[in-house]
Structure 1
Amino acid sequence: MANQDSSDMVQPIPNQPQPIIIQNNHSGSILWRILAAIGWLGLFFCVPIILGMMISSASYYNTTEGVSEKYFAGSKTASDKIAVINVTGVIMEGQSYVRKQIDLVREDKDVKAVVVRVDSPGGTVTGSDYILHHLKKLKEERDIPLVVSMGAMATSGGYYVAMAVEDEEDSIYAEPTTTTGSIGVIIPHYNVSGLMEEYHIEDDSIMSHPRKQMLTMTREMPEEHREILQEYVNQAFTRFKDIVKEGRPAFEKDPEKLDVLATGEIFTANQALANGLVDKIGFIEEAIDRAAELADIDSKKTRVVTYEEPVALFDLGLAQNQALSFDKMLEMSAPKAYYMSSYLPPLVSSFPFGSR
């Protein structure tokens, strides 16, 4: 027994399943972990970038940024709206605030009528015409009625903007204390050549042609230059009167009556009513009621909204610091025609409290 082979002592159990040997491939596991980590890192960095691009794109195409809707009157729960668009202050080029209001109204299908609240002495010819154009375009595209409510002042370019009502009856309301009219055009010019002569100061500018300095303050204006500028003003004035005829069809039939009124003279609300420049004496509430009537909706069951542009303290300080900056002084000195009731139109554009 002692010499018996050890292989005879241990016999395999028949039909016993062989053990399964599992080998861990450590190199493959590490590779997958690295790839997964890279993927998560890529996602971590890409998501903020994509979100940033989306926000940037939305900001780029957002034409109403900074302007928000605010409840003004009427029903707070109604879906139908009457929008009050504000045209306030001196009208200059690039009327972003007014344009943003118009864009909000255009996109809001719940708005059934518009009241344009004008409280402005006017401004540049181009700025006034820009607002008029977009108000008329809004009225046409949305096919909604438009009524004007005049505040303390709606003169010159402010009156020009009011002509967006076109031939709609009973559509221009002036408050009892409104000042309006001032239909006319002005290119400001000041002559300080006498003062320069007294202090021995000479304008020694080099120019391509003498007409390049037609509106210079440092020299007496030649008659030839005056005639050229007068023709320019006359054409702008003719357009002003044509626009008034669109908003006041009675003057189309009687243009001589408009010529009597279009002298730059300002009028009280009662004078304006008597001369056909406005339709009614009334406050903004009456204008809202008229807009609701034209839209065939109940003003008491309609939400009246207006639009606000927030002004930060930083913005006010920045505007004050820029009030007399060099670029503003250059802007003031540029020759411009104005639909404006003022004797200092080139100066008001530099003040921080001008039109927004």
Structure 2
Amino acid sequence: MPTPKRDAAAAPRASYEAVMEQVAREFVRERRSDRRWRIFFRLAWLGLFLAVAWALLVQRTHVAAPTGPHTALIEVRGEIAADTEANAEDIVAALRTAFEDRGAQAVVLRINSPGGSPVQAGIINDEIRRLKALHKKPVYAVVEEMCASGAYYIAVAADEIYVDKASLVGSIGVLMDGFGFTGLMDKLGIERRLLTAGENKGMLDPFSPQNPQQRAFAQAMIDQIHQQFISVVKEGRGKRLKETPQTFSGLFWNGEDAVAQGLADSFGNLDMVARDVVKAEEVIDYTPKENVAERLAKRFGAAIGAGAVRALQSSVNLR
């Protein structure tokens, strides 16, 4: 029979062992829980990656399969620029697909744009004219709210332009804008320190006084682009254009005036053109569209890229 002294010594030991056993159980449980969460997140990321990849594949490989003759639609919306929805690369790709489709009886450009890059607009205009000559298919432009500047540059490649009476059409001009801060800098006592290799490298710098020779050079450049624009309009509209001193001044007009001046041909919308002009009521949209998966992929890629840049910067910066 144990003595009271041994019993007193055994009790703390048993209590200690119980605590250690409990700690071990909690440790194992937490490790299992962490492992399960790691597996869950890995599977979630894998699932997300597969979903994005599948959606991108479906988006890229899906081609509308009309049952018969149809009108091919391509949207030109918003600013025309390389990094916007209305960029030359996507629109040209859509144009080629539409022209090559045997079921497409004609191509309709539905335009709602204030204009943009003359380069992007010029690429699209050139490709429309090339494809028309190659495939012998008519092209019609249908204007919604606005067809101005670079958008009109594209529209004049069409065989006919249809507008609403309240559409805004024209703005045949070129601009180069900026700001000048030299007066403000003088008041604040700020000195501009600009070093250049090449006497015109700092041309049109907003923090330096304007140089008359550089300004004249820039004006001559945009005048030349304006003349290119005018030539494209005259070629596209031909004898239909009723030129006035204001035609190429940069002004824009409502649809009613645009038709009267020969900037547009008639009033109409997409459904009317497809039904009454093309004689193919079924409209198939060939416009490239960025889906949710593409946007998610871009954001995900941008986030990863930003993280990599931060990591690289932190590794090379002097601390």
Q: What TM-score does the superposition give when structure 1 sets the normalisation length? A: 0.61
- Which of 85, 88, 91 is 2:77 aligned to? 88
Residues 317, 271 of structure 1: alpha-carbon distance in 2 compared, 3 angstrom cutoff:
farther
Q: Which residue of 2 aligns with 1:219?
A: 208
Match of 1:22 in 2: none
Q: Secondary structure at the match of 1:117?
A: strand
The residue identity in structure 2 corresponding to 1:307 is Y
The one of 268, 281, 285 equivalent to 1:282 is: 268
2:280 counterpart of 1:299: yes
State yes or no: 1:207 paired with 2:196.
Answer: yes
Is this contact kept in 1: 2:182–2:209, CA < 8 A?
A: yes
Note the alpha carbon deviations across 1:130-160, whole angstroms, 9 max, x for none. 1111111221111101111011110000111
CA distance in 2, matches of 1:314, 1:236: 36
* 1:134 paired residue number: 127
Q: 1:315 to 1:202 in 2, by over 3 A?
A: farther
- Distance change >3 Å, CA 318–CA 82, structure 1 → 2: same
Give the direction of change, closer, same or farther, for the CA distance of 1:189–1:136 in structure 2 (3 Å limit).
Answer: same
Match of 2:252 among 253, 257, 266: 266
Structure 2 segments unaligned to the other structure (5+ residues) = 1-55, 307-319
Question: What RMSD over aligned residues (CA atoms) do the two structures have, in Å?
Answer: 3.0
User: How many angstroms does 1:197 deviate by?
Assistant: 2.2
Query: Equivalents in 2 of 1:110, 1:201: separation in Å?
Result: 65
Partner of 1:156: 149
Instruction: Give 1:311's aligned residue.
Output: 291
| Alignment counterpart, residue 237 of structure 1, candidates 214, 226, 229 | 226
Residue deviations 1:57-96, cap 9 Å, x none? Answer: xx9xx9x97485569xxxx74x212101111110113533
Q: Relative to structure 1, is the Cα distance of residues 85 and 281 closer, same or farther in structure 2, using a 3 angstrom cutoff?
A: same
User: Which residue of the other structure, out of 143, 155, 173, is the alignment partner of 1:184?
Assistant: 173
Which has the higher mean CA deviation after the structures are superposed, 133-142 or 149-158?
A: 133-142
Counterpart CA distance in 1 for 2:297 and 2:169 is 32
Kindly tell me: are residues 237 and 136 of structure 1, through their superposed partners in 2, closer, same or farther at Cα, counting changes over 3 Å? same
- Partners of 2:64 and 2:284 within 8 A in 1: yes
User: Which sits farther off after the overlay, 154-163 or 172-181?
Assistant: 172-181
Sort the Cα spacing of 1:310 and 1:225 in 2 relative to 1 into closer, same or farther, 3 A: closer
Call closer, same or farther: CA 1:251–1:172 in 2, change over 3 Å: closer
Taking a change above 3 Å as real, the CA distance of residues 225 and 127 of structure 1, as seen in their structure-2 partners, is: same
For 1:82-117, what per-residue CA distance to the aligned partner results, in whole angstroms no more than 9, with x for missing partners?
Answer: 101111110113533212211321332221211111
Q: Is the 8 A contact 2:204 2:215 kept in 1?
A: no
Tell whether the 8 Å contact from 2:79 to 2:113 is kept in structure 1 after alignment. yes
Paired residues for 1:66-105 under 5 Å: 66=60, 77=67, 79-93=68-82, 95-105=88-98
Structure showing greater Rg: 1
Secondary structure (helix, strand or coil) at the match of 2:246 reads helix
- The sequence identity of aligned pairs, in percent, is 25
Determine the C-alpha separation between the residues in 2 that align with 1:118 and 1:217. 34
Whether the aligned pair in 2 keeps the contact of 1:155 and 1:181 (CA below 8 Å) is: yes
Instruction: Say whether the 8 Å CA contact 1:119–1:151 is kept in structure 2.
Output: yes
Q: Which has the higher contact order (CA 8 A, sep 6+)?
A: 1
* Residue matched to 2:217: 228
Equivalent-residue separation in structure 2 for 1:180 and 1:101 (angstroms) = 24
Name the CA distance, whole Å, in 1 between partners of 2:123 and 2:236. 16
Q: Which runs of 5+ in 1 are unaligned?
A: 1-58, 293-297, 327-356
Residues 24-67 of structure 1 deviation map (CA, whole Å, 9 limit, x = unaligned): xxxxxxxxxxxxxxxxxxxxxxxxxxxxxxxxxxx9xx9x9748
Supply the distance in 1 between the matched residues of 2:240 and 2:217 (Cα, whole angstroms): 28
Tell me, yes or no, if the aligned pair for 1:151 and 1:174 is still in contact at 8 Å. Answer: yes
Q: How many residues align?
A: 243
Contact 2:75 2:111 in 1 (8 A): yes
1:147–1:290 contact (8 Å) kept in structure 2: no
TM-score between the two structures when normalised by the length of structure 2:
0.68
Do residues 109 (structure 1) and 109 (structure 2) align? no
The alignment partner of 2:221 has SS state of helix
Whole-angstrom distance in 2 between the partners of 1:251 and 1:190:
39
Aligned pair 1:144/2:123, yes or no? no
